[in-house]
Structure 1
Amino acid sequence: MLQAHEWWRGAAIYQVYVRSFADADGDGVGDLAGVRSRLPYLARLGVDALWFNPWYASPMADGGYDVADYRRIHPAFGTLADAEQLIADALELGIRTIVDIVPNHVSDQHDWFRQALAAGPGSPERDRFWFREGRGTAGELPPNNWPSQFGGSAWTRVPDGQWYLHRFASQQPDLNWQHPEVRREHEEVLRFWFDRGAAGVRIDSAAEVAKDPLLPDVVEGTDERPYIDRDEIHDIYRSWRKLADSYSPPRALIGEVWLPDPDRFARYLRPDELHTAFNFGFLSCPWDADRLRETITTTLTVHTPVGAPATWVLANHDITRTVTRYGRADTGFDFATKAHGIPTDLELGTRRARAAALLSLALPGSVYLYQGEELGLPEVEDLPAEVIEDPMYHRTAGADPGRDGCRVPLPWSGTEPPFGFSASASDDAVPWLPQPRDWSHRTAESQVNDPDSMLQLYRRALQLRRTHPALGDGTMGWLPGDPTVLAFTRNGSGFTCVANLGTTPAPLPPHDEVLLTSGPLADGQLPPETAAWLHAS
């Protein structure tokens, strides 16, 4: 029996990108009051927890992941009192809150970095970051060849001649985690939010925090990266785990860990480190039965020895939306090849996304749902260049389309923009990113009474997932059969999930009852691109 304090082992967690969720004050930007107004919707949807992208004070150079102050809320979103009330209101509805922590870097407007710039070379203030002299005859070259995740060099020169490291945007200077003040400050930030009722934290770029202090060049042709997955990083998370476990109930630590080596990935989930970590292998996997079966099996195999539950996610604020991606010839995801304008069949993508929803919600462990996935929203690929804010787009001069296409504000109601996103219908209530004018059939209002809508599919699935004893945390077993069909049972019970990724209808496994399907059956058989939940006594 799953203990209440281990809720994270089987939870359905909904990701809230505050800026694009709901706007209560009519300025075109989502806010915490908007989220509070939609809590009944989230409760009715059937989620167990909300994960909020950073809502802190920030210049928003990278969507809030450039944090200037963890103890203040971005004024466009509200106040600290609003955040505290939101956490409390959600908990009254049985919904926990997970906040985002970004330990790799801060904003260049953070007090520490401003002090470092003012103090000059060799000062203690600069020791909290990675300031170095440049190479070349006059220090005109970066200290090493490390790349930025957002394109270009990971180094920027300041007026006094030194360079500072930023593995992301230049407005996000990397912290030096060898410095005791850096460790102490982040533990205080954790306490600050745990004391205010946060049930856990999601740790951004969790494998990036520790760096090789010698800052050696990356040697091309090798897999060695001196800035990721360093062994000393685990001491940091062991200390965080002790802190999280000191609360009653214990708080959860959830890592964003992008690593190709599953064994290295599993080290972050040892019993004295993180509770769970995002499963990017599943998220980026193509819609292919063999590849998905392999990914699911590998994921569970890796998690079992460390006793951690797997997580399953189809999309997030960085990833091309599912119905668009699954409608393409190449249905996988890779940042290196991300592009807009690739032909997509949204009807096909929607059928696959519906089937993938039942597949992911039936797998053992916890599941993450990105806002708008329950509405079947597609990627918005025709945003005008002048409204795009993502540094990925700007640092690559548009070669990378950026991530704003999956961050367009949600459509709630009505027949034209802003589709109920803003409480005010006045002319100045223009969403910060424009919504497609043809989204009227994708609003929550238009779907709520349609039994065949994506929203109703998610509601029914999440309700079953919460009440059915076979679902959530536990075990699964594959069923033999057609290799283009994924079929498995859960927890040794009579529950079966079957998903047809082939091109012809497939017979259903033996069953007494059809609990739910992602689309209509065809003469008792499962059509292509369709999934079903079954029960056999």
Structure 2
Amino acid sequence: MQVGNGPDLDGAPWWWDAVCYQVDVGAFADVDGDGVGDLEGLRARLGYVELLGVDAVVLAGVAGGDPNSTELADLLAEARGAGLRVLLALDVDPARTDPGPVLRPWLDAGLDGFHLAPRNDPNDAVAAVLADYPDRVVIGSGTGNWHLLFGLDLAVAGFSAGPVQNAIDAVLGGEGPRPAWAMASRDTSRIRDHAALTPVRAMALVQLALPGAVCLRHGEELGLPGTERIRMPWEGDRSPFGFSTAQGDWPSIPDDWVEFTVEAQLEDPDSTLSLYRHALEIRSTHPAFVGESVEWFGAPEDCFAFRRTGSSLICALNTSAEPVPLPPGELLLSSRPVAGGALPPGTAAWLA
């Protein structure tokens, strides 16, 4: 069964398969020591974002700021030097008569587009503004003339192969903008151990194997919860793990996150961060990651396998309680160790 719209496109725009990394600026990195993250903090950590391997940074929590500020100009310049696009998460109602006064100052400042809060755009007012700014992108939700349609369909489906397959079919089989897959609403309010990350790691590979763009939220690549503002744990062995130099208690950064800091995970080849980095590298360089639709193979109960049409990429997922045979092909990556030609429970794998 084949699901999806449209042929492969040569010369597709930069956002076509982009991986966008949303940074809640106030919770990412604090440079001035006031306990709140800032643009300078993000700029100081931009090397990490580049190392992660994403294509664009989405700034959240700065929409009330100054689009002409020196801090933003410096950030944009450094991001461009690193090959990163920069978008703004914006809570603007695009159905108003003219959103231009809100959007244009940011576009004139050099922003590459917007991630709009869920709204409807029956009059395509945003599209009219963006028409004057080539190569910019709008990620939107609901009904609208967006470039990319932000969707939490995979997150809502949970960790069960049947509902996940149905969610993929519904998105790729529908009409409308190109999908931007997101998983940031996972119900993981507190990570206690690495075993709890089994479904998180598996679904990351499913998400990154699908045609379309991807929206990550900072901390997601560390296996941290995505349902609230998470202060980024960078390094060290106690709170706030390098997020800020401010002294005091940090109840929002539990001490048991010591194994989930960027520092700890960069040094661990089996960490969730290492899995994301490896997956993003393969996704951006391997020739199998083409094709605008998927076709499904027969699979055991509570499992699935799909192939990107026009390519050799296969993604297999096992949400059952038993190991199942791997599809034929060269193993590119798996969310958990694979041995003996079997896909373990709670595991996803890429093959070519």
TM-score by length of 1: 0.61
Q: Provide, for residues 26-85 of structure 1, a one-character-per-residue CA deviation record: whole Å limited to 9, x for no partner.
A: 11111100100111111110000111113033xxxxxxxxxxxxx627xxxxx8221122
1:48-197 → structure 2 map (5 Å cutoff): 48-57=55-64, 72=66, 80-104=69-93, 183-184=97-98, 186-197=99-110
Q: CA deviation at 1:469?
A: 2.7
The corresponding residue for 1:520 is 337
On the 8 A contact 1:283/1:312 being kept in 2, the answer is no
Residue 282 of structure 1: CA displacement?
2.2
Q: 1:162-311 maps to which residues of 2 (within 5 A)?
A: 183-184=97-98, 186-207=99-120, 233-235=121-123, 238-248=124-134, 250-257=135-142, 265=143, 268=144, 273-303=145-175, 306=176, 308-311=177-180
Calculate the aligned-residue CA RMSD, in Å: 2.3
- Once the two structures are TM-superposed, the CA of residue 4 in structure 1 deviates from its matched residue by 6.0
**Residue 347 of structure 2 corresponds to which residue in structure 1?**
530
Q: Which moved more, 1:472-481 or 1:32-41?
A: 472-481
Structure 1 residue 525, shift from structure 2 partner: 0.6
Which structure has the larger Rg? 1
1:349 partner amino acid = A
Q: Is the counterpart of residue 370 in structure 1 residue 239 in structure 2? A: no
Q: Secondary structure at the match of 2:103?
A: helix
The answer to whether residue 183 in structure 2 is matched with residue 314 in structure 1 is yes
Tell me which amino acid in the other structure corresponds to 2:92.
P
Once residues 2 and 312 of structure 1 are traced to their aligned partners in structure 2, the CA distance between those partners, rounded to angstroms, is 19
Name the aligned partner's letter for residue 218 of structure 2: Q
Q: State the distance in 2 between where 1:348 and 1:289 align.
A: 19
| Corresponding residue SS for 1:8 | coil
Aligned to 1:172: none
Give yes or no for contact 2:290–2:308 (8 Å, CA) kept in 1: no
Could you tell me how far apart the structure 2 residues matched to 1:494 and 1:378 are? 33
Kindly provide the amino acid, as one letter, of the partner of residue 407 in structure 1: R
Instruction: Determine the C-alpha separation between the residues in 2 that align with 1:494 and 1:301.
Output: 21
- For structure 1, which runs of at least 5 residues remain unmatched after alignment? 58-70, 74-78, 106-176, 208-232, 258-264, 326-339, 380-402
Query: What residue number does 1:484 align with?
Result: 302
The worse-fitting range, judged by mean Cα deviation, of 444-453 and 487-496 is 487-496
Whether 1:417 and 2:239 are equivalent positions in the alignment is yes
Structure showing greater relative contact order (alpha-carbon pairs closer than 8 Å, 6 or more residues apart): 2
**1:40 is matched with which residue?**
47
SS of the aligned residue for 2:197 comes to: helix
Structure 1 residues 43 and 2: CA distance shift in structure 2, 3 A: farther
Q: Is the 8 A contact 2:90 2:114 kept in 1?
A: yes
Residue-by-residue CA offset, 1:92-149 (whole Å, 9 max, x unaligned): 21111111222249xxxxxxxxxxxxxxxxxxxxxxxxxxxxxxxxxxxxxxxxxxxx
Name the TM-score, length of structure 2 as normaliser.
Answer: 0.91
Q: CA deviation at 1:483?
A: 3.2
Provide the C-alpha distance between the structure 1 equivalents of 2:303 and 2:202, rounded to a whole number of angstroms. 12
> Given residue 531 of structure 1, which amino acid in structure 2 is its aligned partner?
A
Unaligned runs of at least 5 residues, structure 2: 1-7
Letter in 1 for 2:180: T
Distance 1:47 1:509 in 2: 29
Structure 1 stretches of 4+ moved >4 Å: 1-5, 344-348
Task: State the AA in 2 paired with 1:254.
Answer: I
Paired residue for 1:397?
Answer: none
Aligned residue pairs total 345
Alignment partner of 1:299: what SS? helix
Which residue of the other structure, out of 259, 278, 281, is the alignment partner of 1:441? 259
Percent of residue pairs bearing the same amino acid type? 38
**Residues of 2 paired with 1:470 and 1:360: CA distance?**
15
Q: Does the 8 Å CA contact 1:10/1:472 hold for their aligned counterparts?
A: no
**Alignment partners' CA distance in 2, 1:473 and 1:197:** 31
**Deviations 1:478-514 (CA, angstroms, capped at 9, x unpaired):** 1112131121111322111111111100101111x21
